[in-house]
Structure 1
Amino acid sequence: MHPQFSEKNRTMTTEAVLANHPFILHRFPLEQKNRSLQAWDAADEYLLDHITSEYPNAQSVLILNDSFGALCCATSIIYAKEQVLPSLFFVSDSFVSKAACQHNLIENQLPSEHVTFLDSLANLPTEIDLVLIKIPKNAGFLQYQLSLLSHLPADIPVIAAGKAKEIHTSTLKSFNHFLSEPKTSLAVKKSRLIFSNTTAKPVASKFPASWALENTDFTLFNHANVFSRDSLDIGARFFLNYLPAGKKPLKVIDLGCGNGVIGLQVLNRMPNSKVTFVDESAMAVASAQQNVSHNLPTRLTDCQFIHNDCLTDFAPNSADLVLCNPPFHQAQAITDHIAWQMFLQAKHTLRNGGELRIIGNRHLDYQDKLQRLFGNCKVLGNNKKFTVLSVIKRS
């Protein structure tokens, strides 16, 4: 065990009691340094207590946006009847959330055969007794998910949970637009529930959205849960000024690709390149693939599109260049562990002499971190908000 991950600290942050049942729940990735972040929250507790008392007999449950499997594990126990587990449908856009749920089922000695794992673009099952939703941070993504629920049969209870401060009037309007008129609970531990029902009145989704990429002939398509889905974000706009060009046959990875605009421009500027698009969001990977297919269809054979936890399980010494705009949050938690994971795995994946090129907010001080990890770091450019850095892997 890593010395920073003491057994005492691990126990303090993984032992949960949900709906009067004890669980061991790990937040992913396991290697992150901040073990004080829990794999469940007060909204999970509130939601599970409510369904235990009000919906004791559900046997087919649809669960959306369960961050680390807390709801999946708890409902497995709540709705177990004579050692027969319920049918659960776990729907997530996140590769990490799915991996965490699978790990936590095993950790709690629960089989996974009763759980059907679906990504965010899959068709939803129709034979459902109950729908549980953790309200996502992205309002457009919530609207997309509610539009899917509007196509289900009528009168299925839908119960959503989230932090009280993040449930706005606009949130309730979204429920009312796609489902029945919502009601809300009292706030408990700064969390709140929303109660609604399906109405069998389908409402179409406005996603994927599309827009013209400035200074190009490209049109970009963005699914609902992709960052900056309506226009080019300012970080990507600045990073585009520092992308490679030329005829070298480089193997390039667009890490945390989002809609794939960075990799798309690499393909456009480097006719002999091969680009791998990687993101832990299924919608991001699908958006990147659609954007290459629409804008540079002849280059599809030079691309791979991979839904993954950063560069986990990538072959060592297999890439010439990794391009990345690292996130500094995971859901609502501010954390740098994803950036560190990206840097470490990029070093493992790059060949000797290969380059990691990133853009980051200037206040994050990636320059010092990369200098310590790679032994070198060069500033390629900066403005008031962002800096572009380059490091070389040396043997």
Structure 2
Amino acid sequence: MNTEFILADRHFTLVRYPEKHQHVSLQAWDSADELVIEHIEALLSENEAMVNNDSPMMLFNDEFGALGCWFSHLAPLWVSDSYIALRSLQENLASNNLLSGDDESKTAPITPLSSVESLTFTPKNAPSVVVLKVPRALALLEQQLIDIQRYITPNTKVIATGKVKTITKSVLGLFEKYIGPTTTSLAKKKSRLIFSSPDENKQKATSPYPTRWQCKGTTGVSLTLDNLANTFSRQSLDIGARIMLEHMTVSANDVVVDLGCGNGVLGVNALSLAPDCKVIFIDESYMALESARQNVLNNFPDKIDQCEFVASNCLESLLNRTNTPAVTKILCNPPFHQQNAITDHIAWQMFTDSRALLVKSGHLVVVGNRHLDYHIKLKKLFGGAKVLASDKKFVILGTAKR
């Protein structure tokens, strides 16, 4: 993996967290990062005082901390929906000696915030510059622009950056709808900037999120599911989860982990199957975890104390704890992309972590597209896997820790 980021005579060593699981072809920044850095540096050279304590910089969707490291001296507010992005930022700040304080109490010059934390600004301390990396999910961008609309002023510079292929008419339409007149830069290295001028006459928008829909659980009970903007399969039940619901089994004594939980439908269904079981919802998306928490409250509010909601890279947050309960069953619908990269390293780490976390004879149940050949990985780790159910596109595999 290329880790040496050199631009304008500055040098950083940057990694994608977790470094040991990344493909050698990947790196922690791209040309869209470089383009927006060059543009903002030009603005700062004209007006150094543009960013200050009363008028901070805000960074959204900094995928692996490259922007956070570059602008750390400006003490920006850093907002992300990704736990992995946060861990990348923390690792990169530390490795580039950008933390302050003594060895026992190092602090970051950045204020990191999750996507579900609220912010309050007044016109006097409104952000001077808002930088957005255009996210994969259009709904997430829409929610962020609605949030930004509440605290920017006509003097705020709103600048977005992304690959040319991600800056579509729909993306530009959202900036026009929620911020104001919008233009783009010329393309450079297959990336482009978006400039949006805040229109103070725009009426403050009401968010259309979360979206709500219902589905049938294994027992036939109707489940009501809320989905925040960046939740996987936000608009309907995905096919993998549907086939899993048809074949799930959970007992009263189980401690269940819904790994990569999304809106938590599998964990919520586990509560319908075995009301006395414990469920740990795991995801790297803060919006997914908040959706799962809300969906337990929607359907089984009296079971909320039997549930835990943990932001984590796969299962590492649980593996690093000393008080994790004995996990007997893990339900998993692995993703096969990270940001814009197609990758199987997340599934591999999920399976490896599952083997480490499960009690002896504990079960891992995986659903995925047939072509992903998860049975090969499970055979290497667990010694084999059994097909529990399948259709033309998906397969459910079960395996036990020996």
TM-score by length of 2: 0.90
8 Å CA contact 2:375–2:384 kept in 1: the answer is no
Q: Superposition pairs for residues 148-163 of structure 1, below 5 Å?
A: 148-155=147-154, 156-163=156-163
Give the match for residue 258 of structure 2: 254
d(CA) in 2 for partners of 1:212, 1:263:
15
d(CA) in 2 for partners of 1:287, 1:160:
27
SS at match of 2:288: helix
Deviates more, 1:256-265 or 1:203-212: 203-212
Q: Percent identity?
A: 43
8 Å CA contact 1:18–1:74 kept in 2: the answer is no
Q: Do residues 391 (structure 1) and 385 (structure 2) align? A: no
Q: Do residues 87 (structure 1) and 83 (structure 2) align? A: no
Which of these residues, 31, 38, 43, is aligned with residue 49 of structure 1? Answer: 38
d(CA) in 1 for partners of 2:333, 2:250:
19
User: CA offset at residue 19 of structure 1?
Assistant: 4.1
d(CA) in 1 for partners of 2:189, 2:112:
30
Q: Do residues 74 (structure 1) and 65 (structure 2) align? A: no
SS at match of 1:141: helix
d(CA) in 2 for partners of 1:134, 1:141:
11
8 Å CA contact 2:16–2:22 kept in 1: the answer is no
Q: Superposition pairs for residues 161-310 of structure 1, below 5 Å?
A: 161-200=161-200, 201=202, 202-214=204-216, 216-246=221-251, 248-310=252-314
d(CA) in 1 for partners of 2:317, 2:119:
30
Deviation track 1:364-392 (CA, whole Å, cap 9, x = no partner) reads 11101100111121111111111100111
Deviation track 1:9-49 (CA, whole Å, cap 9, x = no partner) reads x5xx0001134411100011112141220100000001101
8 Å CA contact 2:327–2:358 kept in 1: the answer is yes
d(CA) in 1 for partners of 2:372, 2:250:
28
8 Å CA contact 1:317–1:349 kept in 2: the answer is no
Give the match for residue 147 of structure 1: 146
TM-score by length of 1: 0.92
d(CA) in 2 for partners of 1:120, 1:173:
22
Deviation track 1:64-101 (CA, whole Å, cap 9, x = no partner) reads 0000100011112xxxxxxxx32211100000100100
d(CA) in 1 for partners of 2:178, 2:340:
25
Which of these residues, 15, 18, 23, is aligned with residue 12 of structure 2? Answer: 23
SS at match of 2:257: strand
User: CA offset at residue 142 of structure 1?
Assistant: 0.3
User: CA offset at residue 241 of structure 1?
Assistant: 1.3
- What root-mean-square deviation, in Å, do the aligned CA atoms of Structure 1 and Structure 2 show? 1.5
8 Å CA contact 1:317–1:348 kept in 2: the answer is no
Shift in alpha-carbon separation, 1:178–1:19, aligned structure 2, 3 A: farther
d(CA) in 2 for partners of 1:340, 1:75:
34
Deviation track 1:210-249 (CA, whole Å, cap 9, x = no partner) reads 1122464321100000011111111111111121144x31
**Number of matched residues?**
374
Shift in alpha-carbon separation, 1:117–1:33, aligned structure 2, 3 A: closer
Q: Which runs of 5+ in 2 are unaligned?
A: 100-106
Give the match for residue 61 of structure 1: 57
Give the match for residue 104 of structure 2: none
User: CA offset at residue 272 of structure 1?
Assistant: 2.1
d(CA) in 2 for partners of 1:20, 1:224:
39
Q: Do residues 124 (structure 1) and 132 (structure 2) align? A: no
Shift in alpha-carbon separation, 1:24–1:245, aligned structure 2, 3 A: closer
Deviation track 1:127-148 (CA, whole Å, cap 9, x = no partner) reads 3110110000100110000000
Q: Do residues 35 (structure 1) and 34 (structure 2) align? A: no
Give the match for residue 5 of structure 1: none
d(CA) in 2 for partners of 1:124, 1:145:
12
SS at match of 1:301: helix
